[in-house]
Amino acid sequence: MKEAEIRKLIAANLLCVFSVILTAVIPAFFWDGFTVVGTHLTWLRICSVSVSALSIVLHLVLKPNLSRKKSSFAHKISRFLKCCIYFFMSCVLFHVIIVLYGAPLIESVTETFLFAVLLSTFTTLQCLCMLGPNLQAWIRVFTKNGAMSIWESSLQITTMCSILGAWFGAFPIPLDWDRPWQVWPVSCSLGATFGYMAGLIIAPLWIHWNRKQLTYKSR
């Protein structure tokens, strides 16, 4: 395993971590009263857009898993449209799942959908950037020993950490503490965000620690 590839992964992941941190810091200089908790819906929009833009740019620049075969312009347009459809379907699916897990059905539709968009940004968008609209590749990557590169291993870890973070973030909501961050969906979205950042940091460390065992043989 090339150390240069691991260094690229570390640099890309750290950029994503810093981008999330900056979404909580920079808007405060231009927006009076901006806070992650106080103006949470605004922060959800800013964070989703920032992470999406940076993820797309990084994958276009680094091209970790893109095929070297040349494709026609029509094929690229078709691929882009499929990715947009998959992302929207992911947002709707996450929204439905979140409601089934107990989120308000009618009272907080906007909050729930924006949380679903954030979660899709941390998970589905990364899969689309890395693997494209190829469900077979998605299934392969998320099966045991299915990753074929350090980038796919990182994708596994960050995706699972994001989902687990969102799940753990729901635990404080029913507690009778009357804290501002217990309002839906603040704790869940913060949990997903911390999980995503934790995954970005853990992934290259885990890969570096296990680099001798990770052979990534072609399948």
Taking the chain (219 residues) in consecutive chunks of 10 residues, what is each chunk's mean pLDDT?
83 96 94 93 97 94 67 84 96 96 90 97 96 91 85 95 96 85 94 98 91 67
Strands (E), the chain: none
Which residues, other chains included, contact 136 with Cβ-Cβ below 8 Å and sequence gap of 6+?
none
Q: What is the pLDDT of residue 219?
A: 47
Q: What is the pLDDT of residue 74?
A: 84
Q: Report the alpha-carbon distance of residue 175 to residue 186 in Å, rounded.
A: 14
Q: What is the pLDDT of residue 147?
A: 84
Structure tokens at 8: 């690229």
User: Would you say 161 and 196 are in contact if contact means Cβ atoms under 8 Å apart?
Assistant: yes
DSSP 168: H
Structure tokens at 44: 């959800």
Domain ranges of the chain: 1-58+74-217
User: Would you say 6 and 204 are in contact if contact means Cβ atoms under 8 Å apart?
Assistant: yes
